[in-house]
Amino acid sequence: MQIINYQDGRPIYEQIVEYYKHLILIGAMETDEQMPSVRSLAMDLATNPNTVQKAYAQLEREGFIYTVKGRGNFVKENSNLVCARQDEICDKILELLREAKELGFNPREILKSASERIEND
């Protein structure tokens, strides 16, 4: 399981959060599917259980999972999360296109080039 990249400057809990957000958003984890237990994930990742607990708490705050006392953590229904993530991505793209325009680049050409690159991947 390659969740943690020790050369990444981000804290481990943030990497765990991003990994599970991605799985949930692409539908690899379904609504009401149980998350790995804190203890088992900590063992698999060779990290402290407090780190995993912190990641799960963040995922719960952001609406990706919910907790059932005594049973564990489960994936929350994600249709609104997908729309929210799409909006975040769009905002990032707009920010980059504004910067490109300020630098004298043609935003349409950048979008065209990016689209071609995506299709060639």
For 5-57, how does the pLDDT look when each residue is reduced to its tens digit (9 = 90+)? 989 999 999 999 999 999 998 889 999 999 999 999 999 999 999 999 999 99
Q: In one letter, which amino acid is 22?
A: H
Helical segments of 1-121, H only: 12-25, 38-45, 49-61, 79-102, 107-120
Residue 26, both tokens = 């692409």
Percentage of the chain exceeding pLDDT 70: 99
Are 49 and 38 within 8 A, CB to CB?
Answer: yes
Q: What's the average model confidence in pLDDT over 89-106?
A: 91
Question: Does residue 88 carry a pLDDT above 90?
Answer: no
Maximal CA-CA distance, the chain: 58
Identify the CATH assignment for 12-77 out of 2.160.10.10, 1.10.10.10, 2.40.37.10, 3.40.50.620: 1.10.10.10
Give dist(CA 53, CA 30) in Å, integer. Answer: 21
Q: Which of 38-42, 80-84, 94-98, 110-114 is predicted with the least confidence, judged by mean pLDDT?
A: 80-84
Residues of the chain with CATH 1.10.10.10: 12-77
